[in-house]
Structure 1
């Protein structure tokens, strides 16, 4: 090979940077970042400091796009001192967007917008349309946050025009511009226009090279379906957005927390407590990760933890009475019985309901019926030892009380005391006195040879049925079954 055809070290490194630039424009940051790091060191080794600093600011931009704001801002803060040290004129067209992001992060939005405007003008003047489009998208994002939606739409349309002029493909900037346009249209409740933009990007391959923006698109779909009150579809879209964040290890924890907060809102609209609980747990984890980047989020984490406790409490409690619900009863009683079986201890289950409860509803109304249930629940709760007893509403006017750490004889005595208390109640409702009686069935895990809560409840239910058959207002112990 002719020696003149062998690329110089500089040309080889420059080729690496050009490749990294292409990869970055395609959103392939996991490939571009390592290449830029190596190129930066190689340029430094041969004393090409202009190129070193070019790689430096490109790295800052790529770190920003993957959501690693900490690394991005560290590089931005180092840039001008490095320029001064190496006597290199800063590339302001590329520096200004990063400075704008820094000021935006500090909530100095006017300064941030000024930097974005200056960068756009410099980029456009130098026909660096990639920089111009990037700056316009950042500017549009800030105007959206300020609810200046018409200005947002004008900026993104200008960004799309710059993208069309660029010689290189700019999928990330195009995705960002489209998403900002959709967001502004949804904010103005222009759903048909937003749908038109969605349709223009569906199936476009370039979107899959920009994971963060694709996640944003799914997030916007979730918002779109929420506005249409199609909450199941909205929840699916929001889950997809979060999944992309996790799969691609995007480190923008602030955005992830925001997405999970939106997912939580949708889950609440679905009235699905399981989805609410799972989302809250994910939300707390996102806030924990965010603390590494912003210590001010500690308050948000504490608040989220408190809300988590409250949500779990709600998930375990009956909404009418405040005592435990069927879900908590089944989970906890199953654990108690399993442990009792291992240690050869006893658990006693008392199942009871209000005699002729339908007549109370028909005679006095459903509000009176609800009041009777609430009053009975309160009496039960006040007359048991909470640490060793579960008082739960099983459904309708049926209640279950579970006693642990008692012999069958002691358990029966507690059940009888409760039965006596409830059978002598007279409930006051709007100056009306409503006498009530209950029927009860009792079973013991040791006596009745049951190893699961389902079996124990069935035994107690059979005993309750016997109480009903024998005239109501009585307590019956389940018949012992032979092994």
Structure 2
């Protein structure tokens, strides 16, 4: 591949901005295959995100849903705060497309929290555009206006750095704000904003945004009781959405068109639109998108019982319900067991100095480092609470376990986190207990490992203390 993955990501973003979606999707697919094959998860996550957004722009909800499970798994294993910000945005788009409003708002606000912490200008624009639209859907005009104007303020800064991207975001902001002003009865301002969209010299490259503007005109004329004009624009919006297969928007506009047709009492047209509407509804039901998304949500809630949502490692549920079986297997197979308790030195200082999202990233880097180091071992990683982790390892040789935990501690001390051109090393203290092939009682192993951790702390931190259970 001639382009590096980093250059490829940039190129795909530029192509999306220009509306070259089909070509961008081809590149994203190729790049993702290369990234996964080379285990380049940082760029792989970016390419997953790009690919999902391209499918969204193409109106292909089915492909978005099919990708999201793998994307979520990679985020949990390898993601940084930036990736979780992107993940929550993607989930907000999916929940919106299947009509689950409460989850749409929840996901959008989570994405905004990360965007604020990371000072990501583009995401602040994008998320507030979405929030404006969602508040309109809820009928909260004042909140929608506030979100739309915030998006505009952020976009003025974005425009200075990335003018082409800023122009596209301006179209989206104008479309959403137009709905707010129309609902408030300020038809002149609403029309002015929609005129700006359709008069833009880039709108012909962005069909989804043009559909929204045509829909906005239909909404404008409907509210003014100019119903025949409303029908004309609603039909144009539907025709354009159908041209690239955007079923979700087509169905939404058809529902509004039917309301206007009923007011006009145009029976022949009502019959034809109803027929197409029913066929479309049946097709979307056959795709079973809502059920797929709800299954995804169910599995996510189920996994919360076992896995820590921040770091992706096991949580205390494992200790309560599965650890005894794990130890029983070790005893039957006559393996030695090592119980490791570790935590981050000065973790509170990380949070107080850099903010809690920075602290979250530190925990994710630590968890990812543990997973990577122990990937070939018979081991389980558990987040015990806060910044405290427990690792349990089984092996036939006691000496191997002792050497492994020392190497693991040395490896963890090489991990760093970057923040605003500064690099901060992780400082970790570790207490370890290795059993004697007789005592497999969790309480005894934990108590000894915990004592070793306190010794490591008292000896100046960044230490590893190991004991054997006799």
With structure 2 as the length reference, what TM-score do the two structures score? Answer: 0.56
* Matches of 2:290 and 2:3, distance apart in 1: 46
1:267 aligns with: 261
Residue 25 of structure 2 contacts residue 51 of structure 2 at CA under 8 Å; is this kept in 1? yes
2:35 aligns with: 43
Residue 175 of structure 1 contacts residue 214 of structure 1 at CA under 8 Å; is this kept in 2? no
Check if 1:258 corresponds to 2:249.
Answer: no
Match of 1:279 among 273, 286, 289: 273
2:224 aligns with: 228
Check if 1:181 corresponds to 2:177.
Answer: yes
Check if 1:288 corresponds to 2:279.
Answer: no
**Displacement after TM superposition at 1:285 (Å):** 2.5
* Matches of 2:195 and 2:80, distance apart in 1: 44
**Displacement after TM superposition at 1:69 (Å):** 2.1
1:200 aligns with: 196
* Matches of 1:163 and 1:256, distance apart in 2: 29
- Cα distance 1:88–1:223, how it changes in 2: closer, same or farther (>3 A)? closer
1:50-91 Cα deviation digits (max 9, x unpaired): 111110122122222322223223323322322455x45361
Match of 2:234 among 234, 238, 262: 238
Where do 5+ consecutive residues of structure 1 fail to align?
1-8, 298-483
- Cα distance 1:121–1:82, how it changes in 2: closer, same or farther (>3 A)? closer
Residue 57 of structure 2 contacts residue 208 of structure 2 at CA under 8 Å; is this kept in 1? yes
Residue 198 of structure 2 contacts residue 210 of structure 2 at CA under 8 Å; is this kept in 1? no
**Displacement after TM superposition at 1:155 (Å):** 0.6
Residue 98 of structure 2 contacts residue 290 of structure 2 at CA under 8 Å; is this kept in 1? no
**Displacement after TM superposition at 1:114 (Å):** 4.0
* Matches of 1:82 and 1:92, distance apart in 2: 10
**Displacement after TM superposition at 1:276 (Å):** 2.1
Q: Which shifted more, 128-137 or 95-104?
A: 95-104
Residue 59 of structure 2 contacts residue 245 of structure 2 at CA under 8 Å; is this kept in 1? no
1:115-153 Cα deviation digits (max 9, x unpaired): 323423433454432222111122222212221111111
* Matches of 1:248 and 1:64, distance apart in 2: 11
1:396-455 Cα deviation digits (max 9, x unpaired): xxxxxxxxxxxxxxxxxxxxxxxxxxxxxxxxxxxxxxxxxxxxxxxxxxxxxxxxxxxx
Residue 61 of structure 2 contacts residue 97 of structure 2 at CA under 8 Å; is this kept in 1? no
Match of 1:247 among 243, 261, 265: 243
After the TM superposition, list the runs of 4 or more consecutive aligned residues in structure 1 that deviate by more than 4 angstroms: 102-111
**Displacement after TM superposition at 1:109 (Å):** 4.4
* Matches of 1:151 and 1:28, distance apart in 2: 34
1:464 aligns with: none
Where do 5+ consecutive residues of structure 2 fail to align?
292-470
**Displacement after TM superposition at 1:41 (Å):** 0.9
**Displacement after TM superposition at 1:204 (Å):** 0.7
- Cα distance 1:104–1:286, how it changes in 2: closer, same or farther (>3 A)? closer
Equivalent residues in 2 for 1:340-355 (5 A)?
A: none
**Displacement after TM superposition at 1:103 (Å):** 4.9
1:89 aligns with: 80
1:141 aligns with: 133
* Matches of 2:254 and 2:57, distance apart in 1: 20
1:130 aligns with: 122
Residue 17 of structure 1 contacts residue 35 of structure 1 at CA under 8 Å; is this kept in 2? no
Higher relative contact order (CA 8 A, sep 6+): 2
Residue 197 of structure 2 contacts residue 210 of structure 2 at CA under 8 Å; is this kept in 1? no
Match of 1:214 among 210, 217, 234: 210
Equivalent residues in 2 for 1:278-427 (5 A)?
A: 278-294=272-288
1:261-315 Cα deviation digits (max 9, x unpaired): 2222223333333322222222122212221344779xxxxxxxxxxxxxxxxxx
1:398 aligns with: none
* Matches of 2:39 and 2:125, distance apart in 1: 32
Residue 231 of structure 2 contacts residue 257 of structure 2 at CA under 8 Å; is this kept in 1? yes
Residue 182 of structure 2 contacts residue 220 of structure 2 at CA under 8 Å; is this kept in 1? yes
Check if 1:115 corresponds to 2:113.
Answer: no
* Matches of 2:109 and 2:262, distance apart in 1: 41
**Displacement after TM superposition at 1:249 (Å):** 2.6
Residue 175 of structure 1 contacts residue 210 of structure 1 at CA under 8 Å; is this kept in 2? no
* Matches of 1:77 and 1:44, distance apart in 2: 15
- Cα distance 1:191–1:202, how it changes in 2: closer, same or farther (>3 A)? same
* Matches of 1:296 and 1:94, distance apart in 2: 21
1:10-48 Cα deviation digits (max 9, x unpaired): 843433321111121233322221111111112223332
* Matches of 1:226 and 1:112, distance apart in 2: 27
Residue 197 of structure 2 contacts residue 213 of structure 2 at CA under 8 Å; is this kept in 1? no
Residue 211 of structure 1 contacts residue 244 of structure 1 at CA under 8 Å; is this kept in 2? yes
